[in-house]
Amino acid sequence: MPRLCAEICGEVQPTIISASNASYYAIYKELLGLYRAYPVTTFLLRPIRHLLRNTPSFRYVRQRRVSELLGDNLGEDSNIAAPLNGACVSSMKIGKNVFINTNLLAMARGGITIEDDVRIAANVQLISNNHDPYDLPVLLCKPVHIKASAWIGAGATILPDVCVGRHAVVGAGSVVTKDVPDYAVVVGNPARVVKMLDKERFSEES
C-alpha cells in the first residue's frame, strides 16, 4: 500500500479494504493530488483520515468487503471496523446487530460464535486454538462462544473453550480463562467475577 495511503487511511488488511477498489482508490488519488500541490505533515493528515473513514462511500466499501469475507455467517445490521486479523476468519459466526471495533484478532480454527447484540471494543483477541506444549506444531482447537448482549471491553483476551454469558461484561484488558456466567462482570488476569448485574433491569427481548 502506498505510504501516503497508509498515512491517510491507516494500515488496513487488504481482504477487508483494498486500495485497488475503484471508489476507494479514486479518493486516494484525489488526496494524493492535494498532497503534491500543498505538502502537509502527517499530523495535518490525521483529520482527513478521520473524515475519510466516516464517509458513506468508505463505510459502504468496508462493509461490502466484510460481507464478502463472512458471507452468510454475518448477521443483519452487524458491523466490523477494519482492520480485522486472524486465522480462518471466514468461519466465524456472527449474529444480528453486532458491533466489533477496530483491530480484532480472531484465531478461529476452533470456532468462534458471536450471538446477537454483542459489543466488542477495540484490540480484543478471541483465541480458539492453542499449541500443544509437548508438540508445538500441533494445534489444539476449542471453541469460543460469546452469548447475546455481552460486552467485551478494549484489549480483553478470550481464551479457548470459554463461553461468555448473556449480558456479561468483560473489563478492559482482562484475560478470560474460564466461562463467564450470565449477567456477570469480570476483570483481571485471570478474569474473576467482581459483581453481578441486576437481571430484572434487562428487558425480556434483549
Which residues carry out catalysis? 131
SS3 186: strand
Distance of alpha carbon 65 from the chain centroid = 14
Burial environment of residue 109 by CB neighbours within 10 A (0 to 12, 13 to 18, 19 or more) = buried
Give one DSSP letter per residue of 75-143, joined into a string: -TT-EEPSPEEEESGGG-EE-TT-EE-S-EEEE-TT-EEE-TT-EE-TT-EEE-EEEETTEEEEEEE--
